[in-house]
Amino acid sequence: MTTMTQTAPLVRVEGVTKRFGSGDKEMVALSGLNLEVREGEFLSLLGPSGCGKSTALNIMGGLLTASEGTVTFSGEPLTEPSRNIGMMFQQAVMFPWRTTLENVLLPVEIFGEKKKDFIPKAEELLEMVGIRDFRDSYPWQLSGGMQQRAALCRVLLHDPKLLLLDEPFGALDEFTRESMNQELLRLQDYATSTAVLVTHNITEAVFMSDRVAVMSARPGRLVDIIEVPFDRPRRPELQTSTEFIKLVAKARQMLELQ
Amino acid sequence: MTRTEVIAQIAIDSSPKKKRWLKSPYLLTAALLPIILSIWWLATTVTNSVPAILLPTPESVWAAFPRVLGANGFSTQVLTTLTEIAGGFALGATIGFFLGVLLSSSRRLRAAYLPFLSALEAIPTVILAPIIIAWIGFGVEGKILQAAIACFYAVFITTLSGLGLAEPNAVNLMKSLRASKWQTMVKLRIPTALPVIFGGLQLGATTAIIGAIVSEFIGATGGLGYLMLRYRSGFDTAAYWVIIFLFLLIGLVVYLTIWYIERRFVFWRRSEVTRPDLEKQ
């Protein structure tokens, strides 16, 4: 991934601090976070629960504003959500009154574009994640994993330049989670977008990412960044290789040393 | 699993079982009727322990049905009351819904008007009725207004609280898509609130019925409440009870109608279950 270092960063987070509440109840979630997300890369934010990694992600998505510091996206200051940024949450957030296809088409509907124009693409995406047969089913007729697949299609429908993923598969069981991660890598490659994943799973972070940003416990700050040099596409067998295990151990050590 | 296989599986899961009708709740409803009737019958006809002026015998009420229903102009009276209930409910529910939407969209409006609107609800219909009669007379319009006032609050307050029920994640999804306030309202908040709003509509429908009848009692030129007053002054207790049963019937029909509409409208509530058997595709 040496070529990546030459491209300008897609997102630049500079000295971002986030405080919630005030006075005695003040809580510092993030403290002076500096981070760059490069165009086309897959970056993980790895840290213990409550280290402010979700807060950092929400600031990058424009859902929260930083108390101090700046965030730029494509060189422009970012202060509110952008339609070039797609977000995925821990829950699939499927509307139960809409069919799978209608849920996937939601962004287009909100953008005021013609839904009909996007149906072929929506169906292609559903096909890619293997749930095209369920396009007319309602979310409550689908399993949790299938719902997250649909959510993945929804976020990719409008080709966001940046994907922000807040532990999207955290609520799924281990097996489903692993296959969803594969799915995600495949689709990110297909959509040629940049992705930032928030996770507290070390193996997952290393397996998925080009770089892993390790964060400290509250108040969250950046400890170090680990470069993950493995080729893509990555096969699950990679996780048993010595190099992989070494990187995982390195990340674990960083987390424990704090 | 393909779609057809899943559908087949669902069909197997929900195949009718033998003697399922024994579990029907309506069996319980039907069982209650003979119990009430026999207690009533024992207290009046058999032991004669309650004077007929307080509680007429079941036979006399039964006998009074054709007399009341066949009376001259009876259908006009029924129509009058139904118009008052339906008109009042439609007006009150509409106002309640839109006020709920309006107030949910602004914290400032809520702070300014919510206490006032809630206090207004504490004024009993009986007190308002003479004022409304003085303003717009004894006619149907006043009764519609009265029923509307009686029912708007239930719809208003349930709409207001229901619109706040959207999950933070869903709201964040809409925000991340830069949905307008209006889009979030129509595509997320209102559908989320629908089950609660329907609860408010059920409640509102009953209060609309009460509002219409009470105001007919206070002063009217027609309607079932007016008819009751006339029977009462004639000491025709059996006929009075016939109309009580008619109100029961109206209440039942209204409830079932709204329940049916809710089932059609909020179809996802019936099946809001996760299917663990589908966890792996």
DSSP letter for each residue of A68-95: EEEEEETTEE--S--TTEEEE-SS----
Chain A residue at shortest CA distance from B172: A63
Is B136 within 8 Å of B145 (Cβ atoms)?
yes
- DSSP label of B183: H
Residue B272 pLDDT greater than 50, yes or no: no
Residue labelled with tokens 């409008």: A158
The residue-averaged pLDDT of A59-65 equals 93
Instruction: Pick A233 or A107 by higher pLDDT.
Output: A107
Distance CA A248, CA A204 (A): 9
Nearest Cα of chain B lies from the Cα of A92 at a distance, in angstroms, of: 9
Answer whether B55's CB lies under 8 Å from B44's CB. Answer: yes
Question: Of the given ranges (B13-22, B76-85, B154-163), which has the lowest mean pLDDT?
Answer: B13-22
Q: How far apart are CA B250 and CA A181, in angstroms?
A: 58
Nearest to A63 among B176, B183, B281 (CB): B176
CA dist list (Å): A138 to A58, A169, B185: 28, 20, 21
Three-state DSSP at A44 gives strand
Q: Is residue A89 less than 8 Å (CB to CB) from chain B? A: yes
Instruction: Inform me whether the C-beta atom of residue A96 falls under 8 Å from chain B C-beta atoms.
Output: yes
Say if residue B100's pLDDT is above 70. Answer: yes
Q: CB distance A96–B177 less than 8 Å?
A: no
In the numeric block, the tokens 């059920």 are attached to B202
The structural domains of chain A, with segments of one domain joined by +, span 2-81+196-257
Helix (DSSP H) and strand (DSSP E) numbers for chain A? 8, 10
pLDDT of residue A3: 46
In this prediction, what percent of chain B has a pLDDT beyond 70? Answer: 89
Kindly tell me if the per-residue pLDDT of B245 is higher than 80.
Answer: yes
Residue of A20, A38, A7, A34 whose CA lies nearest to A227: A38
The per-type count for chain B, helices as H runs and strands as E runs, is 13, 0
- pLDDT (average), residues A157-173: 88
Angle at A206 between CA A205 and CA A208, to 5 degrees: 70
**pLDDT band at residue B7, thresholds of 50, 70 and 90?**
low
Mean pLDDT estimate for chain B = 86
Alpha-carbon distance B82 to B79, whole Å?
Answer: 5
Taking the Cβ of residue A112 and every Cβ of chain B, the question of whether any pair is shorter than 8 Å is answered with no
User: What average pLDDT is seen over chain A?
Assistant: 88
Domains belonging to chain B, first-starting first, are 71-267 (1.10.3720.10)
Task: Give the separation between CA B263 and CA B87, rounded to whole angstroms.
Answer: 23
Whether residue B207 is predicted with pLDDT greater than 60 in this model: the reply is: yes
Between A6 and A138, the higher pLDDT residue:
A138
CA B183 vs CA B177, B180, B191: distances in Å: 11, 5, 12
* pLDDT tens readout for residues B130-143: 899 999 888 899 99
pLDDT of residue A105: 96
Q: How confident is the model at residue B274 (pLDDT cuts 50, 70, 90)?
A: very low
Query: Is A105 at the interface with chain B, CB within 8 A?
Result: no
pLDDT at residue A168, as a whole number: 86
pLDDT band at B265, cuts 50/70/90?
A: confident
Grade residue A1 by pLDDT with cuts at 50, 70 and 90.
very low
Q: What is the pLDDT of residue B28?
A: 84
The reported pLDDT for the residue numbered B271 is: 53
Q: Per-residue pLDDT averaged across B67-75, rounded?
A: 88
Query: How far does chain A reach from its first CA to its final CA, in angstroms?
Result: 28
Query: What pLDDT score does A37 carry?
Result: 93
Beta bridge partners of A164: A87, A196
pLDDT at A26: 87
Q: What is the pLDDT of residues A188-213, one digit of tens each?
A: 777 778 999 999 899 999 999 999 99
The answer to whether residue A89 scores a pLDDT higher than 70 is yes
For the A2-81+196-257 domain, the top CATH level (class) is alpha beta
Is the predicted pLDDT of residue B183 greater than 80, yes or no?
A: yes
**Cβ pairs A/B, distance under 8 A:** 88
The average pLDDT across A113-124 equals: 92
Question: What's residue A5's pLDDT?
Answer: 47
How far does A207 lie from chain B, in Å, by closest CA?
22
> Comparing C-alpha atoms, which of A10, A33, A41 is closest to residue A228?
A41
pLDDT score recorded for residue A102: 95
Q: Which residues of B116-148 are buried (b: 16+ CB within 10 A; e: fewer)?
A: ebeeeeeeebeebbeebbeeeebebebbbbbbb
Q: How confident is the model at residue B2 (pLDDT cuts 50, 70, 90)?
A: low
Which pair of structure tokens corresponds to residue B266? 């909020």
User: Rounded to whole angstroms, how far apart are CA atoms B192 and A147?
Assistant: 18
Interface test with B, best of A73, A85, A87 (most B CBs within 10 A): A87
As a whole-number percent, the residues of chain A with pLDDT over 90 amount to 56
Q: Do B183 and A110 touch (CB under 8 A)?
A: yes
Distances (CA, A) of A228 to A4, A11, A47, A95, A121: 13, 19, 17, 37, 32
pLDDT, residue B221, reads 85
Query: Is the pLDDT score of A232 beyond 50?
Result: yes
The residue of chain B nearest to residue A59, with distances taken between CA atoms, is B176
Q: Measured between alpha carbons, how far is B250 from B104 in angstroms, rounded to an integer?
A: 33
Q: What pLDDT score does B125 carry?
A: 81
Contact B244, A93 (CB under 8 A): no
| A140–B271 CB contact, under 8 Å | yes
Question: Is the distance from CB of A166 to CB of A57 less than 8 angstroms?
Answer: yes
Nearest CA in chain A to B181: A110
- Mean pLDDT for the stretch of residues B2-18: 54
Reported in sequence order, the residue ranges of B29-120 that DSSP labels E, i.e. its strands, are none
Q: Cβ of A141 under 8 Å from any chain B Cβ?
A: yes
Q: Which helix (H) or strand (E) holds A152?
A: helix A144-156
Shortest alpha-carbon distance between residue A218 and chain B (Å) = 23
Put simply, the answer to whether B274 touches A144 (Cβ < 8 Å) is yes
User: What residues in A contact B278, CB-CB < 8 Å?
Assistant: 141-143, 146
A133 CB neighbours in chain B (<8 A) are 2-3
Nearest residue of chain A to residue B178 (CA atoms): A81
From the list B144, B149, B148, the residue with the least C-alpha distance to B223 is B144
A40: which 2 tokens? 């086309």
> In the prediction, which pLDDT does A21 show?
86
Q: What is the pLDDT of residue B45?
A: 84
pLDDT in tens, A122-131: 999 999 888 9
Measuring CA to CA, which residue among A70, A71, A43 is closest to residue A193? A43
Check residue B275 and give its pLDDT: 42
- Judge whether A208 and A42 are in contact, CB under 8 Å: yes
Q: Phi/psi at A49 (nearest 5 deg)?
A: -60, 140
DSSP, residue by residue, A189-251: HHHT-EEEEEES-HHHHHHH-SEEEEEPSSSB-EEEEEE----SSPPGGGGGSHHHHHHHHHH
Q: Pick the residue from chain B with its C-alpha nearest to A94.
A: B170
- Residue A52 Cα, gap to closest chain B Cα (Å): 17
Residues in A touching B171 (Cβ below 8 Å): none
Residue B163 pLDDT > 70, yes or no? Answer: yes
**Listed ranges A21-35, A48-62, B21-35, B74-88; the one with the highest mean pLDDT:** B74-88
Does the structure show a pLDDT above 60 at B3?
A: no
Helix (H, G, I), strand (E, B) or coil at A34: strand
